[in-house]
Amino acid sequence: MNPKDQIKENLSITDVVSTYIRLEKSGAQFRARCPFHNEKTPSFYVSPERKSFHCFGCQASGDIFSFVEKIENIPFFEALKILADRAGISLQDSQKNKEESRLISLLKEATGHFEENLKRSSEGREYLFSRGLTEETIKTFHIGFAKNEWRDLFIFLASKGYSPEEMEETGLMIKTEKGYYDRFRGRIMFPIRNVSGATVGYSGRILPSLVDPSIAQGKYVNSPETSLYHKSKILFGYDTAKKVMNETKEVIVVEGQMDLCMSYQSGIENTIAVSGTAFTDDHINLIKRFCDRVILSFDADSAGQNALKKSAMLCLLAGLDVYVVGDLGTKDPADLIMQDKELWYTAIKNKSHIIEFLTRKAINEEKDERLLGKKIVNDVLPFLRAIQSPIDRNHFLKFISQKIKISEQTLQEELLRINTAINERKEEIITKLQIPKKEMLVREIIALIRLKDLKDSDHIKDLEIDINLFPDQIIEEEIFKIEEKLTSGNSETYFKDLIKSYKKELFNDKIEVLQKKLRDGTENEEEIMKELSTLKNIYKQV
């Protein structure tokens, strides 16, 4: 049997179709409102027996392959791949495919093991219940628990016949000279699934009772990038959100795992999460398969707001309509929903369009009328320019003009000055929104200080860095990244290099200030030149 027939044999068409739309039983068949044309009464029929679908409204018909092709808006071969993954069948019988499907099975076993652990861990269950999750949600997301032991999972997987190398390949084990040990210990385990719904990695949250203040641990530890898990291609919750994304053409994007689970539980199933990063082009393509509209709910801190801007820019350039959920008045959506899910519904209902959001933000931050004009040009107009529909662009141009006292015509002129080929400038705009290099270095240094307890090291004394400058979450994420880097190198050299780069950035800043003074000609030129050459000398020594 060829793979195509085999896949068809293994999968039921009702299972496949109901991943995307709600089916109701109607005699020997199932029916639904057609996903391919607009209708009030169902004329879309699925026959499990003939393994086919037919719509009496728009005449769409076919099998599982044409259904997935049409609904995901992808070519046949991609549909084939999605369904092959789902059926656990490898398309080419190559060595690589065989290895991949073995790793997928390994991860499936591991997920089951974590789920079993959770059933027996009253501590783990109590924690999840205390955060407001129900038994059903825990089951839906296959949330589990990794015991606080060094080789619990290792022993289990070995008993299932998996080799240590295979376990390491999935990122579940860490290899040392003394042998292998479990990466995730004492953590609540959230499986991370790919587009087809197969688990490819985990996000593990430490149990609060196991937090040991004497050692550095990340609150969240994620699987490293592996041959299966590519962070830039995964949207948390995409597989559980698909159906309602397709129905509503709309998706709500939150930051954390817990936000995702709670939002889903509150009835907003079309919620997905990005993990501490902004969108990539791959993410946008996944969203565009089903949605026209994206609603972003990111943290109010600077990291969250940066991610928000970057994500919004990419979405606008891709032709998506972008909305923002305003300040929640609480830490995150999960907390809000635990208080009262109605508050979350209201927050979403009161969303504002990204242009309105950014305009109001600028008005709040800048009271000087002239400077406000400049701020709008810098902070808002690039987003306006990124809007693909000229009608929408005009609409929001009017909005801005009404909010600040600048004529539409002037704004129009400013808009033209922003490079007309904004697509080519995409990279530039996105880089501009990124965190400055100096701040990244400070984050890394603080993380390393915490990780290796270097508070009193001579290297950092003259840097005057406030190690409590950033919220814990940011530093914890940074610590995780560093742990990855340190496994493959010498920490002393790494630390020295880091400090060196930071010092260079500091010098660059100082030199820039002096050069500006020179250009402005406001101060004694000779003095500045002297200072400059001293600085450049020190710079060389660093």
User: Which DSSP string corresponds to 209-269?
Assistant: GG--TTS---SEEEPPP-SS--GGG--BTHHHHHHHHHHHSEEEEESSHHHHHHHHHTT--
The residue among 67 and 184 lying less far from Zn ion, judged by its C-beta, is 67
The residue among 53 and 238 lying less far from Zn ion, judged by its C-beta, is 53
Q: How far is the CB of 86 from Zn ion (least distance, A)?
A: 24
The residue among 34 and 316 lying less far from Zn ion, judged by its C-beta, is 34
The residue among 39 and 356 lying less far from Zn ion, judged by its C-beta, is 39
Is 86:78 a contact under the CB 8 Å cutoff?
Answer: no
The residue among 71 and 84 lying less far from Zn ion, judged by its C-beta, is 71
Q: How far is the CB of 43 from Zn ion (least distance, A)?
A: 6
Q: How far is the CB of 68 from Zn ion (least distance, A)?
A: 16
Segment interacting with Zn ion, rule: CB under 5 A, options 35-43, 256-264, 366-374, 447-455: 35-43
Q: Give me 51's structure tokens.
A: 């393994």
Residue 3 vs residues 7, 17, 92, 197, 421: alpha-carbon distances, Å: 6, 20, 8, 20, 45
Is 10:88 a contact under the CB 8 Å cutoff?
Answer: yes
List CB contacts of 205: < 8 A, sequence separation 6 or more. Answer: 187, 188, 190, 219, 220, 257, 258
Site track 391-420 with Zn ion (rule: CB under 5 A), x = hit: ------------------------------
Residue type (1 letter), 461:
K
Closest CA to 298 of 353, 362, 254, 358: 254
Q: How far is the CB of 73 from Zn ion (least distance, A)?
A: 15
For residue 84, the tally of other CB atoms under 10 A from its CB is: 22
Among 3, 4, 29, 36, binds Zn ion (CB under 5 A): 36
Q: How far is the CB of 63 from Zn ion (least distance, A)?
A: 16
- Estimate the share of the chain in helix, then strand, then coil, as percent rounded to the nearest 5: 55, 10, 30
Q: Does 56 bind Zn ion (CB under 5 A)?
A: no
The residue among 19 and 359 lying less far from Zn ion, judged by its C-beta, is 19
List CB contacts of 126: < 8 A, sequence separation 6 or more. Answer: none
According to CB under 5 A, which residues from 332 to 361 bind Zn ion? none
H or E element at residue 18: none
Dihedral over alpha carbons 321, 322, 326, 332 (to 10 degrees) = 120
Is 186:217 a contact under the CB 8 Å cutoff?
Answer: no
Closest CA to 219 of 498, 471, 486: 471
Q: How far is the CB of 167 from Zn ion (least distance, A)?
A: 47
SS3 132: coil
Segment interacting with Zn ion, rule: CB under 5 A, options 30-38, 273-281, 355-363, 403-411: 30-38
Q: Does 167 bind Zn ion (CB under 5 A)?
A: no
Q: How far is the CB of 242 from Zn ion (least distance, A)?
A: 19
The residue among 58 and 538 lying less far from Zn ion, judged by its C-beta, is 58
H or E element at residue 198: none
Is 313:429 a contact under the CB 8 Å cutoff?
Answer: yes
Closest CA to 86 of 20, 30, 12: 12
Q: Does 21 bind Zn ion (CB under 5 A)?
A: no
The residue among 43 and 508 lying less far from Zn ion, judged by its C-beta, is 43
Among 3, 48, 57, 224, binds Zn ion (CB under 5 A): 57
Segment interacting with Zn ion, rule: CB under 5 A, options 12-20, 50-58, 327-335, 353-361: 50-58
Residue 418 vs residues 72, 215, 317: alpha-carbon distances, Å: 35, 50, 15
Segment interacting with Zn ion, rule: CB under 5 A, options 52-60, 69-77, 405-413, 434-442: 52-60
Segment interacting with Zn ion, rule: CB under 5 A, options 5-13, 32-40, 291-299, 345-353: 32-40
Is 383:355 a contact under the CB 8 Å cutoff?
Answer: yes
Q: How far is the CB of 168 from Zn ion (least distance, A)?
A: 49
Q: Does 55 bind Zn ion (CB under 5 A)?
A: yes
Q: How far is the CB of 39 from Zn ion (least distance, A)?
A: 7
Q: Does 58 bind Zn ion (CB under 5 A)?
A: yes
Among 22, 37, 437, 516, binds Zn ion (CB under 5 A): 37
Q: How far is the CB of 173 from Zn ion (least distance, A)?
A: 49
According to CB under 5 A, which residues from 95 to 124 bind Zn ion? none
Site track 209-248 with Zn ion (rule: CB under 5 A), x = hit: ----------------------------------------
How many residues form the binding site for Zn ion (CB under 5 A)?
6
Among 7, 34, 157, 479, binds Zn ion (CB under 5 A): 34
Q: How far is the CB of 307 from Zn ion (least distance, A)?
A: 38
Residue type (1 letter), 467:
I
The residue among 66 and 508 lying less far from Zn ion, judged by its C-beta, is 66
Is 263:254 a contact under the CB 8 Å cutoff?
Answer: yes
| Interacting residues toward Zn ion by CB under 5 A | 34, 36-37, 55, 57-58
